[in-house]
Amino acid sequence: MYKQIIFILISYLSLSSAVPFGQVFTGQASYYNDAGVGSCGSSINAATQVLVAAPAAHWTTANPNLDPLCNNVYIKVTYNGKTITVPVVDKCPSCPANKIDLSMPAFQQLANTDLGIIPITWEYVSGSGSTSTPSTTTTSSGGSCLQSASVSSGQTCYTVWTGQCGKTWDENAFYQTNPGVNCAALQVGQQLCCNRGSTSGTSTTTGSGSSCSQKATVSSGQTCYSLWTGQCGKTWNEASFYQANPGVNCATLQIGQQLCCN
C-alpha cells in the first residue's frame, strides 16, 4: 500500500512537472471557431465556448487525451491591460512554442477579431478558470431595460447575448444595449440587458455631449474601427469606444458625423 501511494505521488509530480508552470511567455494569440472533439477528448465549439488550444511543443504524451495539459490546466493571458484565464482543452499543431490559439469568444474578451493576431504575455496556471481584469466592472445602465439576463460562472458577453438573450452576436447592438459594460470583467450575478424600450435604434448619435474634449469627423467609407484607431489614435477597445460614444450605431455612420475620442 505504501509503495502504491509513493508511485501515485511520483506519477502526479512527473505529470505536473511536464507543464511549464511559472514560465511567462511573450508571444502571440490568434483565434479559431472550429467545432468537434478537442485534444483532451471532450466535445468543444470554439465559436461559442471560452477555451484555448496550447502549442503542440508543450504536449508530451503520445495520447493527447492523457496529457498533463488536460489535467485541470489553464492559460492566463494578458493583452493591453486586460487579463483572462481560460481552460486548455485543445492543441494548436501550427503554433510555435510561444503562441496560443484562443476560441473566438475568449479572443473577443481581449480584442476585436478584426485584428486576427495580437501580442500577448501568457503562462500556465492550475485551478479555476475565472476571468479577471485590473479595470472595474460596470453594470448595464438604466431602468428602460425590458429584458435582462444574469451572468453565470464562466459566461461571456457573447454566450449571454446569444444564449440567454437568444440573439445573434452583434457587438454594436450589444454595447448600445449595455453601455459601459466591460466584457473582460463580468461578475457572477451581474445583470446584462437583452433589449431596451423606446430607443431610436438606427438614429445617428454623436459622442457623449459636452464632456467630450476631442472629436473626430466621419469621412466617406470610414468605420468606427478606422476612425477610433486612425483619427482618434487609439488602440481598438470596443468597450471604451461605446462608453465614449453611447448610442452610436456603427452600421449607420454618416459623413460629417461627430464621434468622441475620449
Digit-coded pLDDT (tens) for 6-33: 444 444 444 445 899 989 999 999 999 9
DSSP output for 210-256: GG---EEE--TT--HHHHHHTTS-----HHHHHHHSTT--GGG--TT
Report which of residues 17 and 68 the model is more confident about: 68
Digit-coded pLDDT (tens) for 90-108: 999 999 999 999 999 899 9
In sequence order, what are the beta bridge partners of 32?
103
Identify the DSSP state of 13: H
Residue 194 has pLDDT above 70, yes or no: yes
Report which of residues 56 and 3 the model is more confident about: 56
CATH fold label, 209-260: Membrane-bound Lytic Murein Transglycosylase D; Chain A (3.10.350)
Task: Mention the CATH class of domain 24-126.
Answer: mainly beta
- Alpha helix locations (H) across the chain? 2-17, 104-108, 157-159, 171-177, 224-229, 238-244
CA pair distance 160, 194, nearest whole angstrom:
9
CATH fold label, 145-196: Membrane-bound Lytic Murein Transglycosylase D; Chain A (3.10.350)
Using alpha carbons only, what angle is made at residue 132 by residues 66 and 117, rounded to the nearest 5 degrees?
Answer: 70
Overall average pLDDT of the 182-205 stretch: 65
Domain ranges of the chain: 24-126, 145-196, 209-260
In sequence order, what are the beta bridge partners of 216?
259
Per CATH, 145-196 and 209-260 having the same topology is answered yes
pLDDT of residue 217: 87
Q: In the structure, what pLDDT confidence band is assigned to residue 201 with cuts at 50, 70 and 90?
A: very low
Q: Please provide the average confidence, as pLDDT, over all residues in the chain.
A: 79
pLDDT of residue 17: 56
Which three cell numbers mark 102? Answer: 484562443
